[in-house]
């Protein structure tokens, strides 16, 4: 992705995806844990939750946290508790300390936010799942379900920016999914496909953001 012209609006906000950007997310490990609780195989659970469109529907805000948890358990053939769901999700998440440090450095220059494709149960339990994030991002830690749609729909970016009062041209979306970045750019944000911290630092330097 190329930087905008030199006279473009200054950068005021960097938005980060969560999984595979701020932490490693090991879904196979999560599936194995869920399978150990139920009579289903990891492949069956993946098909029932992710390939069926159920997870995407939750990410788009179609159900509240409790309805999601009930539906999740029903689809895996097991009455899953909230604590069990949290345990399986949390064990699959390994924070990237270098990225968290980079975010702290970026905050000296511009505002930061998270926009992750996740449902309301993730929002309600994020302090358990990823306790480093709330202190770092505060109220700018946001989930697609809050906006009634999900990345890469351009409306999710537009609604987030409207909430924050930031012009699209002043925001940079950092995501490991090229489709999500393309969606942000279609909404007039700048975009960066994340493939490691080194590349992100180079992109940020274009905007005068230099962190150690």
Find the CATH number of the domain harbouring 182: 3.40.50.1000
Give the H/E segment covering residue 130.
none
pLDDT tens digits, 131-173:
999 999 999 999 999 999 999 999 999 999 999 999 999 999 9
Percent of the chain clearing pLDDT 90 (strictly above): 94
Looking at the fold, whether 118 and 74 belong to one and the same domain comes out as no
pLDDT band at 40 (very low <50, low <70, confident <90, very high): very high
For residue 211, being part of any structural domain is answered with no
Contacts of 124 (CB under 8 A, 6+ apart): 65
Segments of 38-134 assigned E as strands: 93-95, 111-116
* Residue 110 and residue 19 in one domain: yes
Domain total in the chain: 2
Q: Provide the pLDDT for residue 8.
A: 67
pTM: 0.95
Q: At what angle do helices 65-76 and 82-91 cross, to 10 degrees?
A: 80
Residue 14 has pLDDT above 90, yes or no: yes
Is the Cβ–Cβ distance between 66 and 165 less than 8 Å? no
Are residue 102 and residue 190 in the same domain, yes or no?
Answer: yes
Q: Which of the four pLDDT bands, split at 50, 70 and 90, describes residue 124?
A: very high
What integer pLDDT is reported at residue 7 of this predicted model?
43
Q: Which of 65, 91, 117 is the last residue in one of the domains?
A: 91
- 140 domain-assigned: yes
**Residue 77 and residue 169: Cα distance in Å, rounded?**
46
Task: Clarify whether residues 110 and 180 are in a common domain.
Answer: yes
Please check whether residue 8 lies inside any domain of the structure: no
In-domain check, residue 36: yes
The last residue of one of the domains, among 68, 91, 114, is: 91
Specify whether the CB–CB gap between 22 and 103 falls below 8 A.
yes
| Band (4; pLDDT cuts 50, 70, 90) | very low
For 77, the domain range is: 27-91
Does residue 6 belong to any structural domain of this protein? no
Q: How far apart are CA 153 and CA 163, in angstroms?
A: 17
Q: Indicate whether 4 belongs to any domain.
A: no
Per-residue pLDDT band for 9 (boundaries 50, 70, 90) equals confident
19 and 37 both lie in a single domain:
no
Residue 177 vs residues 107, 189, 192, 196: alpha-carbon distances, Å: 23, 15, 10, 13
The token duo for 27 is: 């879904």
Q: Compute the mean pLDDT over every residue in the chain, rounded to the nearest whole number.
A: 95
DSSP 8-state secondary structure symbol assigned to residue 51: I
């Amino acid at each position: 992705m190329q930087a905008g012209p030199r006279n473009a609006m200054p950068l005021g906000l960097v938005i980060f995806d969560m999984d595979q950007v701020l932490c490693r997310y090991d879904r196979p490990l999560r599936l194995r844990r869920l399978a150990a609780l139920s009579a289903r195989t990891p492949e069956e659970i993946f098909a029932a939750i992710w390939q069926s469109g159920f997870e995407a529907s939750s990410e788009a805000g179609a159900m509240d946290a409790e309805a999601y948890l009930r539906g999740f358990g029903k689809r895996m053939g097991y009455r899953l508790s909230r604590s069990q769901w949290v345990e399986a999700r949390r064990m699959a998440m390994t924070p990237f300390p270098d990225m968290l440090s980079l975010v702290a450095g970026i905050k000296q220059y511009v505002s930061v936010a998270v926009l992750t494709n996740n449902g309301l149960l993730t929002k309600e339990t994020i302090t358990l799942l990823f306790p480093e994030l709330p202190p770092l991002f505060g109220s700018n830690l946001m989930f697609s379900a809050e906006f009634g749609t999900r990345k890469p729909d351009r409306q999710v970016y537009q609604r987030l920016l409207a909430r924050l009062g930031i012009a699209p041209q002043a925001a940079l979306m950092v995501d490991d999914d090229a489709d999500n970045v393309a969606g942000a750019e279609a909404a007039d944000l700048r975009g960066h496909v994340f493939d490691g911290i080194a590349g992100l630092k180079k992109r940020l330097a274009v905007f005068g953001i230099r962190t150690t």
